Amino acid sequence: MTMKLIAFLGATASLALAGSALAQDTVEPRNTPGLPDNLAAIDDVLRGGLLNDPTSIAWENYGVGTEVIQDESYPGGGVAMRVSIGPSANVYDGGLNIPLLAPVNAGEQLTIGFFARTISSEAADGMGRVQVRFQLNEPPYPGFGEKVVQIDDEWGFYEITAPAGRAMRRNGIVALQFGLEEQVVEIGQAIVVSGTRTIAD
């Protein structure tokens, strides 16, 4: 599913970032070698180097129900993936995989930002919970930067950042894992960059 490209930086700057107070860092604009031509314009306006295709939500999924929801009022292009999961034994029993389009070097700062909201959750506080993890999409699935994000019932923009604990020359992904709660969560546009700790200033 292809989304309309939005003026991303302006749209996200006005959103309150859920639970994060990331320090401002001085990073010069950079570009990622080898990206498809259609993503070059997006890469040009980002502080970091673009690592994924933010115009698509055609992500690999496993262990979850998924439905593409189109609504012009949704932030980030008017479309989202609605993800539902029942009771689960492990956080990784169901998830979405966002593929990385370029290699990652060990020690490189990686950041993902995505729009999300919770439709329903069996958690006591009613909030959705998504574990975010940078990893290889091959056994034994080594990764780094695990963080559980609490998702409110109103649209928000959530950022997770971590230094790469290992190089990922190929098959790198950002895994969004939903097995912590029985829940229904909508995930909208996602942007993954390298070389900066924040996407939305």
pLDDT, tens digit (0-9, with 9 covering 90-100), for 14-68 = 332 333 333 344 445 567 887 888 898 899 888 889 999 999 999 999 999 999 9
Residue 170 burial by Cβ neighbours in a 10 Å radius (0-12, 13-18, 19+): exposed
Q: Does residue 1 fall inside a structural domain? A: no
To the nearest whole number, what is the mean pLDDT of the chain? 87
| Domain presence at residue 88 | yes
Structural domain count of the chain? 1
Q: With 80 as the cut, is the pLDDT of residue 3 above it?
A: no
Asked, for residue 133, whether it belongs to a domain, the answer is: yes
171 and 136 Cβ atoms separated by less than 8 Å:
yes
Omega before residue 142 within 30° of 0, cis: no
Phi and psi at residue 37, in whole multiples of 5°? Answer: -55, -35
Phi-psi region of 195 (alpha: psi -120 to 50; beta: other; left: phi over 0): left
**Is 200 part of any domain?**
no
CATH number at residue 94: 2.60.120.260
* Distance (Å, whole) CA 154 – CA 54: 21
Residue 158's domain spans which residues? 8-20+27-194
What is the Cα 147 distance to its own chain's centre? 12
Give this prediction's pTM. Answer: 0.86
- Closest CA relative to residue 110, chosen from 134, 138, 132, 131: 134
